[in-house]
Structure 1
Amino acid sequence: MRSQRAHQGRLATLVVMGVLLGGCARQGHLEAAGPRPPVTGTTGAAMPLAPEMLIGSWTLVDVAAPGAGTILRLAGSELHLIGSHCGTLGGSWRASDVGVFLADVWSASTVVVDSRPGCEKASQETPGWLRSVTAYQFDGAGSPVLLDGRRQTVARLIPGATPVPEPDKANSVLEPPRVTDEARRALAPAVALPATLIPADQRQPIGRWAPKSGHKAAYLEFTADSEWHGSDGCNDQSGRWITAADGTLLATARATTLAFCADSVPIEQWVTTARRAGLDGKALVLLNAHGDETGRLSPTN
């Protein structure tokens, strides 16, 4: 667990090593956010956004939603919302160096779900306040601030939170998250979209797409409420998605079945490893952080 001073030191180091990357966070169905203002620390120097600095156990403050929870734990790609009415909710998150943030909740403690009314539904839905978060920045003290599509504060994250044991809560959730090499690689900046592709904006991915080869039942659909649904041909898949400037695309994925079928198409892998999306004519092209094409799909309507 890192102290607030440790966050300040890390961010100050990044000022020397990096440059401030511009951009704005936009959600598929929300109004595009305006230009991001510079974020300054105690020295007044501009701070680059480093998504790995979001990893930690954070006390939630200034959250307007009642029962939102008291602790937000971000570790690797895993997310836990601790202390809500429904106990500990679990899911995943994504973030980028241009200030985009995406969260998805899809699980909860079995004991709590079975004993508290409404918690079965809550375990399968991202809370409204967390769904509204599309961006992040750091305040003058180096603490993260979660923002909505209009760059209004949704929640502030204060370091040093300590989760307490609860029924069905794994011991790993109680441990302070660490910034691993794997996490750094997953959150590293993506290379620019190739000049041959037109960056996909917040509206263009919406619709149903089909891979150019593979199982005939495979598909990928982006909906206006920032959900995606798909199939590899045999297994239904789903998650959340968000776009931003320069073709940035981030997506989460939920638990799915693992039925085998011939000619299956790795739709979930295409979406979750994508960091950029662009259009080649009418085709939607997905690329990973290294700029490698991972998927190419055609519109079905």
Structure 2
Amino acid sequence: MRNYRVLLLGLALLLVLVPLAGCKPAESALGTKDNPIVLAFVPSGDTPEIIESAEEIAALLSEKTGYVIEGSVATSYSAVIEAMGTGKAHMGTLATFAYILAHEKYGVDVALVSVRYGRAFYNGEIIAGADTGITKLEDLAGKTMCWVDAASASGYIIPSIMVKAAGVDPDTDLAQQIEAGSHDNVALAVYQGDCDAGACYIDCRDKIADDYPDVYDKTVVIAESPEIPNDGLQFIKEFPADMREKIVQAFIEIMATDEGVEAMGKAYGWAEVVEKDDSFYDDFRAVLDASGVDVEALAK
């Protein structure tokens, strides 16, 4: 009888414990304190300023949407792509080529494109030290070249195509290639003579002119790129549509305020934003394709 009671007790405990063993704590809803939405900024300029801007914009978006949104600054363009691809970041401020890679590889989708000086496009430039004797692209052979980042449209992709078209193969004809990490750093490296020449957006020298007012005398522009679509705000493929729409509208409203323009202007020079879909980048894709850049291969 005693053994029978023990058996019944054991069965009762088993019935209770088995369901409990299969239960896992439910993941907190996205946009809450325990599962915040992460907005990743790319390090294209002065990092402390970008960190400050990321925090300010995240706070403004949180206040307007009611979601918990955290801003972060990655170490490179590629780091933002991978963070969005693995779900560690949910939104990003990717530049053109980085976005195209992220879209191809992970389905990242654009929602907003930035506007500067009334345009949703920009141009890149190649600058050189005024005392280097470099006046045209052909003169870059045997010189040290600074790039921004391998995923930067104006800081590497397009200018490297231009340099190669001029008969200078970056991989074999340059003395050295240096990845500076930001447009500001390219301007500073050329100004200080660490690089003979460098590629960046027009006009990256403005960002260091307050500290180095003679930068326009000590550097010269030797080439300008064709139009490149601006950077913008993108979302991961799995992001809930209703939350995305709410954040997009909040971002548009924030960018209509002085506070929003100041925050994004400080980081990237954004003056306003416009809604765009992925087709906005099709013409640029055609340029890449015509130049022999295989985006699908790079995305693998």
Could you tell me the TM-score, scaled by structure 2's length?
A: 0.25
Indicate the structure whose relative CO is greater, using CA pairs within 8 Å and at least 6 residues apart: 2
Higher helix share: 2
Could you tell me the TM-score, scaled by structure 1's length?
A: 0.25
Higher strand share: 1
